[in-house]
């Protein structure tokens, strides 16, 4: 109970302290209390979104990296594999491997060069460059063909080869291609090996796959593979591990240790991935894995988590700095804002304090001692004496003056504009400049129709006259580039329609369709009676629009689309809204446009409830 009492007392004390603060301090304190949690949520959201985005991008980039590396290694393997396939299916080589005339053929030291396409194969080895050795050991005891381009030397006889584990494995695989890394000191393939090699070995079978004909070994320079892997590394902390189909190491590059390689291979995590592809979270690394279906080889790129964490820290800097910057920058802004509020209140308080020198009653209950409380006290004491005077005299007189001023402006502004245009017209006539005179007259007529009538409805004939005057003015600007045709049926010319529902579409056709192209542009404005009501078509042969531009036209108010060129004050969006207010759902507006071919706008106003009849407005818009 004591704890609750102390808590209540502490809460009341803080509330009283806040109530006793000035308005300026209250605004600053409350603003920070409101803004800080919001900014924290925004910062957390930004970090979370950026984290997810970067993680997704980093994963995709890592998978692309490992796939590209695997494709590069696969290209090297493909050349070796294609050479082995060529040797296995070559009829001349098969003839040597299946012959019974062993002693006779062994007496010819040029046997392989004369009876088999070995010169061609040697040329291919020279062209490829990285294929360093080739060994063919016939099972019928024909002398083996052994070729080394780097001064290495193969095991000299089939009997010695048959003692190796590679040979036994090739027999078990029954003709399938096997890959293994052979080091300098290995005796599995060579008597002497000058460099590490990636070796393809396989048993050669006849077409029935029943009889073994020979043992084939092709050695590729491991340095070529290492160069590919080194070019794929982006930092010294990354590593690359390439495994054969049995999960044995073919080669490794980078910072990974032999112990880490053994642990990763023994755990066999990569074998659990779908199709041998994906991303592994392995100890301190993110591992990107990709498997080749043909060779069975698996390429793994190890990227340290610390390297990715550094990117996430850089992501966190932005929202944190934004939070701190906003909180720090908020103080002078709040100080400025509170000064704007409190300074006028202080001045009003001082003025009202000078005014209240009599005995006034307090009407508003004042609970705080801040600036608002002082204003309330002054207001309570002066409102009783001056409210009636303001309501009965000052406000009424002010409204009368404003009404007079508005009426005077409504008379002066249009008349001044018309008189000025008429003066310009007669000056052009006296100067015998008929073209300018006609354009000035068109502009004068346009302003009279737009500004002078003050009504929101018009006839089809008057609306078309406005469109024509507008096109005459634009014709002066575009000369031969702009042509137009207005085709309105006589039957609908006296129909009442909302004012300025065609001109904005024509204006858009000029501004968007003609102004932005050098080729001629034709504008067609048509109107006719249809069974459902009235149909208007505004069509141009301008540059056209895509769907995004059509949406922008329909949703744009004024401003950016027309800037200073607008004559009518209604945007296309406004036209649609006014039609909806006047006709509800009894109208249809369709925009068909294709870039490079022009735009066609179809506007239908259906007969029925909501129409404008007998010159009266159905809805005051």
Task: Give me the pLDDT at residue 412, please.
Answer: 42
Summarised one tens digit per residue, pLDDT across range 459-488 is 999 889 888 888 887 887 777 788 899 999
- Length in residues, the chain: 621
Work out the burial of residue 439: count CB atoms within 10 Å of its CB; fewer than 13 is exposed, 13-18 middle, 19 or more buried: buried
CATH number of 456-606: 3.30.565.10
Q: Which of 440-449, 506-515, 533-542 bottoms out in mean pLDDT, i.e. has the lowest?
A: 440-449
The pLDDT of residue 495: 93
- Taking 70 as the threshold, does the pLDDT of residue 376 lie above it? no
State the pLDDT at residue 256: 85
For 363, which DSSP code? -
What is the reported pLDDT for 534? 95
Q: What is the 3-state secondary structure (H, E, C) of 505-525?
A: HHHHHHHHHHCCCCCCEEEEE
Q: Across the strands, what pairs with 282?
A: 285
On the question of pLDDT at 349 being above 60, the answer is no
Given a cut of 80, whether residue 18 has pLDDT beyond it is no
Beta strands in 407-546 (DSSP E): 457-459, 482-488, 496-498, 521-530, 533-540
Q: Which residues have C-beta within 8 Å of that of residue 205, sequence separation ≥ 6?
A: 88, 174, 175, 211, 212, 213
pTM of the predicted protein model: 0.49
Compute how many other C-beta atoms are within 10 angstroms of the C-beta atom of residue 51: 14
Q: What angle do CA 198, 200, 203 make, to 5 degrees?
A: 160
The pLDDT of 207-212, averaged and rounded, is 83
Per-residue pLDDT, 562: 45
* pLDDT tops 50 at residue 359: no
CATH superfamily placement of domain 61-304: PAS domain (3.30.450.20)
Mean pLDDT of the chain: 78
Q: Is the pLDDT of residue 388 over 70?
A: no
In the prediction, which pLDDT does 325 show? 84
Percent of the chain with pLDDT over 90: 25
Q: Which residue has the higher pLDDT, 344 or 328?
A: 328
Q: Which residues contact 232 (CB under 8 A, 6 or more apart)?
A: 65, 68, 69, 72, 240, 301
What pLDDT digit, counting tens, does each position of 64-101 carry?
A: 989 999 999 999 999 999 999 999 999 999 999 999 88
Determine the pLDDT at residue 570. Answer: 47
Which tens digits make up the pLDDT trace of 551-609?
877 766 544 444 444 333 346 777 887 788 788 789 999 999 888 888 999 999 998 64
Residues sharing a CB contact under 8 Å with residue 420, sequence separation 6 or more, in sequence order: none
Residue 621 has pLDDT above 50, yes or no: no
Q: Would you kindly state where each structural domain of the chain is located, as residue ranges?
A: 61-304, 456-606
What are the pLDDT digits (tens) for 160-194? 999 898 999 999 988 899 999 998 877 788 888 88
Min mean pLDDT across 19-23, 294-298, 538-542 is at 19-23
Does 456-606 match 61-304 at the fold level? Answer: no
Instruction: Residue 513: name the closest of 590, 598, 601, 573 by CA.
Output: 598
- Would the pLDDT of 264 be above 80? yes
**pLDDT tens readout for residues 230-244:** 999 988 889 999 998
Q: What is the pLDDT of residues 289-320, one digit of tens each?
A: 988 888 888 999 999 888 877 766 777 777 77
Collapsed DSSP state (helix, strand, coil) of residue 329: helix
pLDDT at 616 over 60: no
- In sequence order, the β-bridge partners of residue 15 are none
Q: How far from 29 is each of 24, 32, 78, 334, 352, CA to CA, in Å?
A: 9, 5, 72, 10, 29
């Amino acid at each position: 109970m004591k704890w609750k009492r102390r808590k209540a007392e502490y809460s009341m004390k803080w509330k009283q302290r806040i109530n006793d603060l000035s308005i300026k301090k209250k605004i600053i304190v409350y603003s920070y209390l409101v803004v800080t949690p919001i900014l924290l949520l925004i910062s957390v959201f930004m970090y979370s979104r950026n984290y997810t985005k970067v993680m997704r991008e980093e994963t995709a980039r890592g998978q692309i990296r490992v796939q590209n590396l695997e494709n590069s290694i696969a290209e090297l393997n493909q050349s070796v594999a294609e050479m082995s396939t060529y040797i296995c299916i070559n009829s001349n080589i098969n003839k040597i491997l299946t012959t019974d005339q062993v002693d006779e053929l062994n007496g010819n030291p040029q046997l392989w060069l004369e009876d088999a396409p070995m010169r061609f194969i040697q040329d291919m080895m020279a062209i490829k460059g990285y294929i360093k050795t080739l060994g063919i050991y016939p099972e019928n005891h024909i002398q083996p063909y052994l070729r080394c381009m780097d001064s290495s030397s193969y095991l000299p006889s089939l009997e010695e080869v048959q003692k190796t584990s590679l040979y036994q494995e090739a027999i078990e695989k029954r003709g399938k291609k096997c890959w293994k890394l052979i080091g300098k000191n290995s005796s599995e393939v060579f008597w002497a090996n000058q460099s590490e090699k990636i070796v393809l070995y396989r048993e050669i079978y006849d077409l029935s796959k029943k009889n073994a004909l020979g043992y084939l070994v092709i050695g590729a320079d491991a340095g070529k593979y290492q160069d590919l892997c080194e070019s794929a590394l982006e930092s010294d902390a990354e590593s690359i591990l390439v495994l054969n189909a049995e999960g044995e190491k073919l080669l490794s590059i980078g910072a990974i240790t032999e112990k880490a390689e053994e642990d990763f291979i023994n755990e066999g995590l990569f074998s659990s991935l779908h199709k041998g592809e994906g991303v592994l979270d392995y100890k301190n690394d993110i591992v990107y894995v990709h498997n080749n279906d043909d060779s069975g080889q698996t390429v793994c790129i190890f990227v340290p988590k610390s390297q990715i964490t550094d990117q996430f820290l850089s992501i966190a800097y932005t929202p944190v700095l934004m939070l701190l910057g906003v909180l720090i920058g908020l103080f002078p802004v709040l100080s400025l804002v509170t000064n704007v509020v409190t300074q006028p209140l202080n001045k009003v308080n001082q003025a009202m304090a000078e005014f209240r020198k009599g005995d006034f009653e307090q009407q508003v209950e004042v609970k705080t001692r801040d600036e608002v409380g002082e204003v309330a006290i002054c207001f309570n004491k002066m409102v009783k004496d001056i409210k009636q005077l303001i309501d009965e005299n000052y406000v009424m007189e002010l409204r009368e003056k404003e009404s007079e001023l508005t009426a005077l402006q409504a008379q002066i502004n249009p008349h001044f504009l018309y008189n000025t245009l008429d003066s310009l017209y007669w000056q052009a006539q006296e100067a015998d400049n008929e073209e300018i005179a006609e354009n000035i007259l068109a502009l004068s007529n346009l302003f009279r129709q737009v500004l002078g009538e003050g009504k929101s409805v018009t006839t089809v004939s008057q609306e078309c006259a406005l469109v024509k005057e507008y096109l005459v003015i634009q014709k002066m600007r575009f000369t031969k580039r702009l042509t137009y045709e207005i085709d309105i049926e006589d039957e609908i010319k006296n129909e009442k329609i909302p004012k300025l529902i065609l001109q904005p579409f024509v204006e858009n056709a000029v501004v968007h369709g003609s102004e932005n192209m050098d080729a001629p542009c034709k504008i067609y404005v048509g109107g006719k009676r249809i069974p459902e009501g009235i149909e208007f078509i505004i069509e141009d042969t301008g540059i056209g629009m895509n769907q995004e531009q059509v949406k922008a036209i329909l949703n744009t108010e004024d401003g950016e689309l027309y800037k200073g060129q607008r004559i009518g004050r209604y945007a296309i969006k406004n036209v649609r809204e006014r039609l909806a207010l006047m006709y509800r759902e009894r109208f249809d507006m369709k925009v068909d446009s294709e870039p490079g071919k022009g735009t066609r706008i179809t506007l239908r106003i259906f007969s029925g409830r909501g129409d404008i009849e007998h010159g009266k407005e159905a809805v005051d818009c």
